[in-house]
Amino acid sequence: MTYRDAMREALRDALRRDERVFLMGEDVGRYGGCFGVSKGLLDEFGPERVRDTPLSESAFVGAGIGAAMGGMRPVVEIMTVNFSLLALDQIVNNAATLTHMSGGQLAIPLVIRMTTGAGRQLAAQHSHSLEGWYAHIPGLRILTPATLEDARGMLWPALCDPNPVLIFEHGALYNMEGELPEEPPEVDIESAMVRRPGDDVSLITYGGTLWKALAAADELAGEGISAEVLDLRVLRPLDDAALEASVTKTHRAVIVDEGWRSGSLSAEVAARLTERCFYDLDAPVERVCSEEVPVPYAKHLEEEALPQVDDIVTAAMRTVRGQVPQAAEAGRV
């Protein structure tokens, strides 16, 4: 099973469980979704529950908000995160605020799915990682499934949430393969998860960079460094307890974030670690982020602009031993 298959199974399960659930978005029906996630669902559930929409993000996200207010459980698909900018007013000014502005009289059980991230040569306009922007907004829950288990298991609890939930699916993960049990995994949408325990440094990440952090942990093990990999999974609300537990154990932290460094989610995590764990830290918090440029189209330039395994290893070596591996001294540091 691929990550794409796991997302499709999550949608199929939700549509079967609750007749109020429906999927809407551009090309989700006859075409099967821009990334093939909803392929076959139109034939199975019909056009009332798998709805192709006009090319207007503001319109169909607004329709999803209205449907949620009316008691339905809509799943709105936005092709890529950059297109969500066309629906910012609906997401930020309506979905996130209506429960508050109605004094709790209105619930907005809306799920919005979108693809995020770079690494696929889609150039500057289709390679954004803006989930950190949305994590800034009270009233939203932000999920970043990075494993097949989370891709399969996060949608149903998201639909059960009375508040709007945004799910960011990293485009580079859709073809990732693995195995899942026949019974859907039980996944919470509250907590971070330790993907690899360690004692010397915490590698804190989420989404598409989780697998780079795990690969870096393998390399660090060869250097005699035990790296713990913490998958945030939920960017709002952040799991402060998990962050504190990991860093008070390892006493060092490297935050890996595909977003740009300035004003990023990594900055927020670093600030919280400073507030909560300052006296437990044995070295400054390190951050590995994308270069502050529009993401290039050319493959070699795109790779240079994005966080890579070597960058994570270098940052971890620096925070643990105050040095960088010899291979890094001749290249990027």
Active site residues: 57, 126
Report the C-alpha gap between 184 and 12 in whole angstroms.
12
> Nearest to residue 233, comparing CAs of 209, 201, 215, 259?
209
> Do 41 and 33 form a contact (C-beta atoms < 8 A)?
no
Sheet strands (E) in 118-225: 141-143, 165-170, 193-196, 201-205
Q: What angle do CA 211, 216, 219 make, to 5 degrees?
A: 135
> Do 47 and 134 form a contact (C-beta atoms < 8 A)?
no
Torsion, Cα 205 208 214 219, to 10 degrees, reads -110
Torsion, Cα 66 71 72 74, to 10 degrees, reads 50
Q: Which residues, in sequence order, are CB contacts of 318 under 8 Å at separation 6+?
A: 286, 324
> Do 60 and 25 form a contact (C-beta atoms < 8 A)?
yes
How many residues would you count in the chain? 333
Would you say the C-alpha torsion 254, 192, 145, 266 has a positive or negative sign?
negative
> Do 235 and 135 form a contact (C-beta atoms < 8 A)?
yes
List the structure tokens of 40. Answer: 């076959």
